[in-house]
Amino acid sequence: MTRVLSIASECAPLVKTGGLADVAGALPAALWTQGVQMRTLLPGYPAVIAALHDWTEAAHFDDLFGAPARLLTGWAAGLDLLVIDAPHLFSRPGNPYLGPDGRDWPDNPERFAALSWVGAHVGIHGAAGWHPQVLHGHDWQAGFVPEYLRQMGGGPATVLTIHNIAFTGATDAGRMQSLRLDPWRFQMDGYEFYGGISALKAGLMEADALTTVSPTYAEELMTPEFGMGLDGVMRFRREALTGILNGIDLHAWNPATDPAIRPYDSLPGKAPSKAALRAEMGLPEADGPLCVVVSRMTHQKGLDLVAEALPALLDHGGQLALLGSGEPALEHAFRRLGEQNPHVAVRIGYDEALSHRMIAGGDAILVPSRFEPCGLTQMYGLRYGTVPVVGLTGGLADTVINASPASLAQGVATGIQFSPVTAESLRNALTRLCQLYRDKDTWSRLVANAMAQPVGWDQSARAYAALYARLTAGR
């Protein structure tokens, strides 16, 4: 079997703030069937340490960016883990990245440099007799892995996956010493980024292979609009870049067995779940579609567009149920909308079980992202027959087949795409959604198509396994 160390700052179900955690948690099982043994290196957050069992100490570090630390091997939530037990870096409550004031921990650059440093160390020295053939890092938090590996004299093949290029791991050049970086590499073809340091750029320049989470996003990254200042780097590394679409966990997201919801009766099969969701959210009966939003409330996710376009849904008898948290101005705006209209229900916060109930009970799920590397919520919607309404970008473009006249005639449509990603386009999409919803035969076919769409990991796992095989051939 090919031995791969996955290096990630979060991993479901142990610690999760977004889709990266879902991917890191799902990949090991998906890749096992492809002949890949994947172990996952994680920071020792309190929840991770508490869940770890059958652990042993694999390494000791006298000074891991400020204090001694240990590397533990063990199991948690069915995952084969390496865990960095470094209380001075990771024994902190709540969000992995943010302090109680909602701001980044000031030592985040050092905290995740430590993750990369240990990953490179395992690449060279192994852990408890296990030696990876590939180091697979995720996002900026693992961006220094190839750089440190170079400084240590080289080692296994390296892969860096870009889940969201908007987060570059940038810091000021004065931290070179504290981050243990070779000052000679502070240059355009190294980790220098507009006069500062970028962990993500370090990985983009030095990794043997780059992947991102959808084919369309791979193309978008090479443009100024989506490249976030790194589009030139992406064009330079074009030959190393592959877009591999994410999948979802078909066991955790299964409408037939999901313990968070009531079972379906028949296609469209939403009557019990929809009635239960309306009761839970305090929504009355209505003639139009019940739309749900489960999202971080940020500009990227286009939640301001939902607020602006909402009358187009409500005027056609539709409803909105929203679950999310994020930018205070957006939270306030949606609270006000919920207070002002009985057909709008808003829950601020994060609730995994409620997200399942909402996606099961909704008729449609709105994902109006301005950019979206892959997106998972639209795939959850497809799985549950909750028709996605999505911006035409990134993975949303790759996973939803627009309900155009041609695709409806051919019987392949699975949702609604809109472009450009503006409030006016979203209004038109919501009007189109309500028209389709009123045509019960067309709507039933759309729902059936959505549920038949493959959204699991099989194809993506094969692509990753093939990539690893190419990287390890002859090494």
Residues at the binding site for ADP-alpha-D-glucose are: 16
Decide if 6 contacts 34 (C-beta within 8 A). Answer: no
Residue with tokens 């009123």: 438
Burial tier of 46 (Cβ tally within 10 Å: 0-12, 13-18, 19+):
middle
Q: Of 141, 140, 144, 124, nearest to 132 (Cα)?
A: 124
Burial tier of 89 (Cβ tally within 10 Å: 0-12, 13-18, 19+):
buried
Residue type, 5: L
Q: Phi and psi of 224, rounded to 5°? A: -60, -30
d(CA 66, CA 182): 18
Decide if 378 contacts 352 (C-beta within 8 A). Answer: no
d(CA 137, CA 120): 10
Residue type, 80: D
d(CA 33, CA 43): 27
Decide if 446 contacts 387 (C-beta within 8 A). Answer: yes
d(CA 463, CA 381): 24
Partners of 127 in beta bridges? 130
Which letter, b or e, does each residue of 334-349 get, where b requires 16 or more Cβ atoms within 10 Å of its Cβ?
Answer: beebbeeeebbbbbbe
d(CA 380, CA 386): 8
Annotated binding site: 16
d(CA 383, CA 115): 35
Q: Concatenated DSSP letters for 67-82?
A: S-EEEEEEEETTEEEE
